[in-house]
Amino acid sequence: MEEKIKKALDKVRPAMQADGGDVAFVAWNDETGVLQVQLLGMCVGCPMAQFTLKEGIEKTIREAIPEVKEVVQV
């Protein structure tokens, strides 16, 4: 599952890197369906970070991997 998630994260990574940010896989919980990620670079402290997390990262990941119920930042 971790490899599937990392491949899905690679789909959103270029757009984030174009703005000076990035995203890293932290942990996956099979029981809860929660994926933990860390925002990096310019995404840290950005006022749009929560929007990027939910409408960009979470939406893309959930479309690719239905087992993911939520993406949270740590």
**d(C-alpha 70, C-alpha 74), whole Å:** 13
- Counted domains in the chain: 1
Residue 27, phi-psi category: left (phi > 0), alpha (psi -120 to 50), beta (remainder): beta
**d(C-alpha 11, C-alpha 31), whole Å:** 25
Domain range enclosing 60: 2-73
**d(C-alpha 41, C-alpha 35), whole Å:** 20
| Mean pLDDT value across residues 42-64 | 94
| Confidence band for 45, pLDDT divided at 50, 70 and 90 | confident
pTM attached to this predicted model: 0.93
32, burial (CB in 10 Å: exposed 0-12, middle 13-18, buried 19+): exposed
Q: What is the pLDDT of residues 4-18, one digit of tens each?
A: 999 999 999 999 999
User: Which CATH number belongs to the domain containing residue 69 in this structure?
Assistant: 3.30.300.130
